[in-house]
Structure 1
């Protein structure tokens, strides 16, 4: 089973990873995990001012800060995973990557905001659910 784990480094990501490690039997033994982090793009004018090398360095550093602790956690748990980062708007990138990679399941943490707040602000989880055809497991 190919499982995509969408992460952002928040406490909600930690809850999702904890859930996975305590429910390994639910997800099966033959898992192929891919961990995806999406870096928000630098605004166009800022990118033009900073230059391509600085912007690329920013993307790499941002991804490293989020992914390194997750890599360490996964190693401690004995879970093999592939780690990927993309640049873009999180909901779009997560849904696209899940579909293009033909994943069987997408797992992500959710902030669990109220209905009114979600209606006004939207959320990455809500947008992924609306756009993605891959089954999604939200962990709150």
Structure 2
């Protein structure tokens, strides 16, 4: 399918799926997995956890980062378990920092062809004040973004 896209390369050779542990992100994961199966794409599982403020050398900081890393690894592992025996390559990135920036950065560095992510329905006031990760990624990413509702 679309084998002549980008000079013989599959249309979606590299797909990023953003995971945050929510039902929405698992729906996005299911879509990304289906696309990866169709195109034989590499699927990159990405989770970002919030940057931790405070002294970087403190025990409290280190414990918090360790806990968030463990939680992120559990989210990625849950997605991996849903893959079963996949016929495509799967990689993962676990990052500290703002989710939108992390997703955009990974997509650029890995030259991804598609980002698939969930959309959580935020109230209009919260959305106006805090913004939306999916809106920021859709606006700033250099590749197509598929937002799953």
Under a length normalisation based on structure 1, what TM-score does the superposition of the two structures give?
A: 0.81
* 1:56-77: CA deviation from partner (whole Å, max 9, x where unpaired): 5224312222111111011266
Equivalent residue for 1:86, pick from 95, 117, 135: 95
Of 100, 108, 111, which aligns to 2:117?
108
Instruction: Provide the C-alpha distance between the structure 1 equivalents of 2:31 and 2:68, rounded to a whole number of angstroms.
Output: 28
TM-score by length of 2: 0.77
- What's 2:10 paired with? none
Which residue number corresponds to residue 40 of structure 1?
Answer: 50
1:13 lines up with 2:25 in the alignment? yes
Query: Which of the pair is proportionally richer in helix?
Result: 1
- Partner Cα separation in structure 2 for residue 93 and residue 10 of structure 1: 18
Number of equivalent positions: 137
Q: 1:117: how far off?
A: 4.0
What 5-or-longer segments of structure 1 have no aligned partner?
Answer: none
Q: CA RMSD in A?
A: 2.5
- Alignment map for 1:59-138 (pairs within 5 Å): 59-75=68-84, 80-113=89-122, 115=124, 117-138=126-147
1:123 to 1:51, Cα distance in 2 relative to 1, 3 A = same
Structure possessing the higher relative contact order (Cα contacts under 8 Å, 6 or more residues apart): 1
